[in-house]
């Protein structure tokens, strides 16, 4: 039965499949043979309905401009009729008509490209339509050749086996490591035999082991090929150059994605698909102790996502030794706590160090022994082992980069990425829109200029004709030439972007300054409290609440800065997605780096440095004194600040947000889906949901940028200020063990399957990590030299101590102040102590010195030692980093040997093939008597091409072009040379 006229352009089939016809987990067309390689989704809306018989609701598959209609015989024989079906009698919105026309043109171009299409009937007033795409073998082979996809050949060789002690150690390591390996089928990359790989070519099919054309390319490769077709297919009706990305941006299509490999859980199936294997052996928290199946991840998601999880896995593994060393440093501090002389002197009440007031008027004098707990806690992180740990972590960062380069090279060899060329990137929809507006504006200007000579009579007849010809020629030249944006189009975006980034930096500094004001005012108000408990806990309350406020501000600004970075990059109008991603990453990193570390930088390098001294303090708003460091030093406050921000950011942003927000979105979609009419719910419940419907209900995949950004910020916490918090690697390790499984479940169960993108490396992220590793050396050097008391203790022990020990160190670091030198109104209004001299922490001359309260010689000597330590530390670490870089080869020796061997084997294979071709030519034209030899050779060649059972068949297949060209001259005599 023919389809009605309204459906002539785009044949469809009924979406409500029979439940008995389970076409292998609904991953195939209705015929059960052609696999769904890609899905396009769109929203449609119709205006009116008309009753139609059910005999026309069969399957219509669009296959290379051929329409096959299958009629449901049960309905036609039984005389049953379906309920009312929507037909296109009139569109509610003119925009819907334009979108439908664009879809028809786009799908027609996909048919011309060789794809096969199956789509649903629009049988409701409004709803979601699914278009399934299938790539047949001719299309797959053609695109694989264009994309230079490497595939294994028949030629193989055995990998070199280890012998001797190294072999026994390797076997022992494998046995010990076996319980931690995921139980997934061994991929070809794990076998002892290596097949040579070569870029796919249709002229060399005999080189490849093609047993089944339907399974020769895996699902990820098939979807990647189809994605390349739909991305470059043009839709000229909308004046756009490229297809699916622009059409999605314009709302013609809602989304486009490849399908997952079936259900998430295996229901009585003997063989699990790749998705189920990944779920069972990778995406469960119960397998947290196992390695990741990196090769299976790459096979399912593509190289780009595979490289991310390989990088994350190596980073997490290397956190294990860093965590162990950091725990040892912390335990060393605990073990030497009772023998630490400076903390013992601070806790000794017999020393009776009377300290100057911490605030004006309301604060009283206090004894240094009251800060005993702070001093003891500071020693846990500020001890001689901290310097060793800082050097170790700087080398750890350098080693991490070198080991990743080796790991990346191994993966590049195993995944056939060694000769991967940069693929041509298509233009972004935003760029095309701006280009289209510019083209239309130029067209209007040309029309205006063409009409101008007609309005100006005084130009004369000849002059007017000449000018009109020139303008027409110029207009034609502009129209014929390629349009592109110039610096005048980009400059406004760059200016806005630069000024906005400066504004965001100012916003970050304003937030930090606001927290500083909060600390100062809260300290002053709590010090005025009549309750002794409140006054005694001022520092603890103010520090903890300020850090929590900092954490909340960081979380809020992080979300704002991520959106701002995307918006600013859009203003710059990048041409390709690669340019857009790199610029957006750089902006987001700069903003989030400053946001996360600005409060920590303040505590580490600025707090207490500009507070002044008794009698000459620095004030904010003329009333509030700048805050000072704790009696035990600023390092303990830096430790508290770093630990709370790091742990809170990981717990709230990285885990709760990643788990809670997707759950809320899924709940919202479920509640929104329940708002359909009762008839629609009954129809949907009467059939089993298709795989494309299940995947459409999942969250769309955007990019890996949030995942990388999260880990890079954590890497900064681990490497930049590790001298103040040796337990940072341990907490990062615990977080990453959960993070890997959380990301795995998100990719396998909660996100639509991403497009399989190829990549040689992790891109700009490597440069960011490398820069942070070098920056961490400088930061740790300054933290040890200026924030901790390591240098003052060292200088006192070897320069000023009479006994060569640290006895008397506390007294040496405290300066004297005569209370009579207080400014009027700043001395304690009522004091329980009768004090003439109070102490404060600084290196200044005493009040009885001719240069009272000036910086002492000890201050300048210690400052010189601090700067000398920074220079020595940086040069030492840089030298050791270069040494590590030299010792660890970027390309492993076995990989370089195998690459050379494969290159020589490939050359041998192609030389052998050319040799056989020449032999065939000689056998055809240069043997025996001319006529008989030629006839026999031609007959042998025909038999070889027909049988296909011998090696000659393979050799002749690649020479088919020569045979086709020479076939018309069978009856011509040739003369032997």
pLDDT tens digits along 802-844: 888 888 888 898 999 998 888 888 888 777 778 888 999 889 9
pLDDT above 90: residue 478: no
pLDDT for res 294: 92
CA within 13 Å, CB half, 630 = 29
Q: What is the 3-state secondary structure (H, E, C) of 9-71?
A: CCCCECCCCCCCCCCCCCCECCCCCCECCEEEEEEEECCCEECCCHHHCCEEEEECCEEEEEC
- Between 424 and 505, the more confident residue is 505
- Between CA 228 and CA 151 the distance in angstroms is 18
- Between CA 450 and CA 429 the distance in angstroms is 31
Nearest alpha carbon to residue 278 among 759, 740, 760, 756 = 740
pLDDT for res 815: 92
- Between CA 635 and CA 789 the distance in angstroms is 9
pLDDT for res 424: 60
Residues 6+ apart with CB under 8 A from 857: none
pLDDT for res 383: 83
pLDDT tens digits along 372-426: 888 888 888 888 888 889 889 988 998 999 999 999 988 988 888 876 666 666 6
**Residue recorded with tokens 């309750």:** 531
pLDDT for res 744: 92
DSSP designation for 777? H
pLDDT for res 12: 43
pLDDT above 50: residue 481: no
pLDDT tens digits along 238-287: 555 567 888 888 888 899 999 998 888 776 667 788 898 999 999 988 88
pLDDT for res 87: 43
Separation of CA 426 from chain center: 20
Residues 6+ apart with CB under 8 A from 771: none
Give the lowest-confidence range in 29-33, 718-722, 931-935.
Answer: 931-935
pLDDT above 60: residue 83: no
- Between CA 329 and CA 262 the distance in angstroms is 50
pLDDT tens digits along 69-82: 333 333 333 344 44
pLDDT above 60: residue 110: yes
pLDDT tens digits along 533-591: 777 777 778 888 888 898 899 989 988 998 999 999 988 888 888 888 899 999 999 99
Find the length of the chain.
977
Residue 314 neighbours by CB distance under 10 Å: 17
Confidence band (pLDDT; 50, 70, 90) for 179?
Answer: confident
Confidence band (pLDDT; 50, 70, 90) for 15?
Answer: very low
pLDDT tens digits along 485-499: 777 778 888 899 899
| DSSP secondary structure string for all residues of 478-515 | HHHSPP---HHHHHHHHHHHHHHHHHHHHHHHHHHHHH
pLDDT above 60: residue 35: yes
Q: Mean pLDDT score of the chain, rounded to an integer? A: 77
pLDDT for res 454: 52
- Between CA 760 and CA 416 the distance in angstroms is 10
Percentage of residues of the chain with pLDDT beyond 70: 78
pLDDT above 50: residue 314: yes
pLDDT tens digits along 723-775: 888 999 999 999 999 989 999 999 998 899 999 888 888 989 999 999 998 89
- Between CA 910 and CA 916 the distance in angstroms is 10
Confidence band (pLDDT; 50, 70, 90) for 672?
Answer: low
Q: How far are the Cα atoms of 8, 93, 123, 147, 164 from residue 47, in angstroms, in the given order?
A: 19, 9, 12, 44, 79
Confidence band (pLDDT; 50, 70, 90) for 508?
Answer: very high
Sign for the CA dihedral angle at 444, 445, 447, 448 comes to positive
- Between 859 and 349, the more confident residue is 859
- Which whole number is the average pLDDT over 625-649? 82
pTM of the predicted model, to two decimals?
0.82
- Which whole number is the average pLDDT over 646-668? 76
């Amino acid at each position: 039965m023919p389809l009605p006229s309204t459906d002539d352009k785009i044949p469809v089939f009924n979406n409500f499949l029979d439940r008995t016809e389970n076409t292998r987990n609904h991953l195939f067309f209705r015929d059960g043979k052609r696999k769904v390689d890609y899905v396009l989704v769109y929203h449609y809306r119709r205006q009116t309905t008309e009753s139609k018989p059910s005999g026309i609701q069969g399957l219509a598959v669009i296959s290379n401009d051929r329409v096959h209609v299958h009629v449901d015989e049960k309905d036609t024989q039984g005389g049953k009729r379906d309920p009312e079906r929507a037909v296109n009698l009139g569109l509610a919105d003119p925009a819907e008509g334009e979108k439908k026309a664009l879809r028809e043109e786009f799908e027609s171009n996909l048919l011309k490209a060789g794809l096969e299409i199956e789509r649903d009937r629009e049988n409701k007033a409004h709803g979601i339509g699914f278009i399934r795409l299938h790539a047949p073998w001719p299309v797959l082979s053609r695109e694989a050749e264009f994309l230079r996809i490497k595939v294994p050949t028949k030629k193989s060789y055995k990998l070199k086996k280890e012998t001797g002690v190294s072999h026994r150690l390797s076997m022992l390591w494998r046995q010990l490591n076996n319980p931690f390996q995921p139980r997934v089928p061994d991929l070809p990359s794990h076998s002892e035999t290596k097949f040579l790989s070569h870029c796919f070519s249709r002229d060399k099919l005999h080189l490849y082991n093609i047993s089944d054309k339907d399974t020769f390319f895996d699902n990820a490769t098939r979807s990647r090929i189809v994605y390349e077709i739909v991305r470059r297919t043009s839709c000229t009706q909308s004046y756009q150059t490229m297809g699916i990305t622009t059409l999605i941006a314009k709302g013609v299509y809602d989304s486009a994605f490849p399908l997952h490999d079936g259900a998430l859980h295996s229901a009585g199936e003997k063989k699990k698909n790749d998705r189920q294997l990944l779920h069972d052996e990778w995406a469960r928290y119960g397998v947290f102790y196992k390695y990741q199946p990196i090769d299976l991840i790459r096979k399912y998601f593509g190289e780009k996502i595979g490289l991310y999880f390989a990088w994350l896995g190596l980073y997490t593994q290397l956190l294990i030794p860093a965590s162990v060393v950091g725990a040892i440093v912390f335990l060393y501090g605990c073990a030497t706590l009772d023998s630490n002389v400076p903390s013992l002197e601070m806790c000794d009440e017999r020393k009776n160090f009377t300290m100057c007031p911490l605030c004006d008027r309301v604060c009283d004098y206090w004894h240094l022994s009251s800060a005993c707990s702070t001093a003891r806690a500071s020693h846990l992180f500020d001890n001689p082992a901290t310097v060793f740990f800082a050097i170790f972590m700087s080398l750890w960062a350098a080693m991490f980069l070198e080991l990743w380069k080796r790991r990346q090279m191994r993966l590049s060899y195993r995944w056939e990425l060694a000769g991967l060329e940069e693929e041509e990137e298509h233009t972004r929809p935003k760029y095309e829109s701006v280009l289209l507006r510019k083209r239309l504006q130029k067209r209007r200007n040309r029309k205006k200029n063409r009409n101008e000579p007609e309005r100006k009579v005084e130009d004369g007849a000849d002059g007017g004709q000449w000018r009109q010809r020139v303008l027409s020629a110029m207009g034609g030249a502009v129209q014929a030439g390629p349009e592109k944006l110039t610096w005048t189009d980009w400059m406004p975006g760059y200016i806005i972007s630069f000024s906005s980034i400066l504004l965001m930096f100012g916003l970050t500094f304003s937030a930090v300054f606001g927290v500083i004001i909060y600390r100062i005012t809260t300290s002053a108000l709590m010090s005025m409290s009549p309750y002794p408990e409140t006054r005694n806990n001022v520092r603890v309350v103010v520090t903890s609440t300020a850090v929590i406020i900092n954490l909340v501000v960081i979380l809020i600004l992080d979300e704002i800065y991520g959106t701002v970075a995307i918006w600013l990059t859009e203003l710059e109008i990048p041409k390709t997605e690669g340019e857009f991603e790199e610029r957006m990453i750089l902006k987001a990193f700069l903003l989030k780096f400053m946001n996360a570390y600005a409060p920590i930088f303040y505590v580490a390098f600025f707090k207490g440095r500009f507070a002044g001294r008794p009698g000459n303090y620095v004030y904010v708003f003329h009333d509030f004194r700048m805050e000072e460091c704790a009696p035990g030093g600023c390092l303990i406050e830096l430790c508290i600040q770093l630990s709370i921000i790091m742990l809170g950011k990981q717990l709230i942003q990285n885990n709760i947000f990643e788990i809670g927000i997707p759950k809320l979105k899924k709940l919202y979609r479920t509640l929104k889906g329940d708002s359909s009419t009762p008839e629609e719910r009954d129809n949907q419940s009467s059939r089993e949901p298709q795989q494309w419907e299940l995947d459409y209900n999942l969250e769309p995949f955007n990019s890996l940028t949030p995942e990388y950004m999260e880990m890079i910020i954590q890497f900064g916490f681990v490497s930049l200020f590790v001298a103040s918090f040796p337990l940072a690697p341990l907490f990062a390790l615990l977080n990453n063990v959960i993070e890997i499984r959380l990301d795995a479940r998100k990719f396998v169960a909660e996100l639509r399957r991403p497009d399989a993108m190829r990549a040689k490396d992790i891109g700009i992220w490597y440069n960011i990590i490398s820069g942070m590793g070098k920056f961490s050396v400088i930061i740790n050097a300054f933290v040890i030299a200026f924030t901790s008391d390591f240098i003052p203790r060292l200088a006192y022990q070897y320069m000023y101590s009479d006994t060569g020990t640290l006895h008397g160190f506390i007294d040496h670091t405290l300066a004297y102040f005569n209370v009579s030198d207080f400014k009027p109104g700043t001395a304690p209004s009522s004091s329980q102590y009768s004090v003439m001299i109070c102490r404060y922490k600084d290196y200044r001359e005493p009040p009885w010195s001719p240069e009272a309260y000036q910086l002492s010689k000890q201050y300048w000597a210690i400052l010189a030692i601090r700067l000398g330590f920074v220079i020595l530390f940086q040069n030492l670490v840089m030298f050791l980093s270069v040494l590590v870089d030299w010792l660890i080869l970027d390309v492993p020796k076995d990989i370089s040997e195998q690459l050379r061997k494969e290159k020589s084997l490939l050359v041998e294979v192609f030389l052998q093939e050319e040799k056989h071709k020449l032999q065939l030519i000689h056998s055809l034209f240069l043997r025996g008597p001319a006529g008989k030899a030629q006839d026999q050779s031609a007959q042998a060649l025909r038999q070889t091409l027909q049988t296909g059972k011998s090696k000659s068949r393979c050799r002749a297949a690649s020479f088919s072009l020569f045979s086709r060209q020479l076939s018309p001259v069978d009856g011509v005599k040739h003369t032997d040379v």
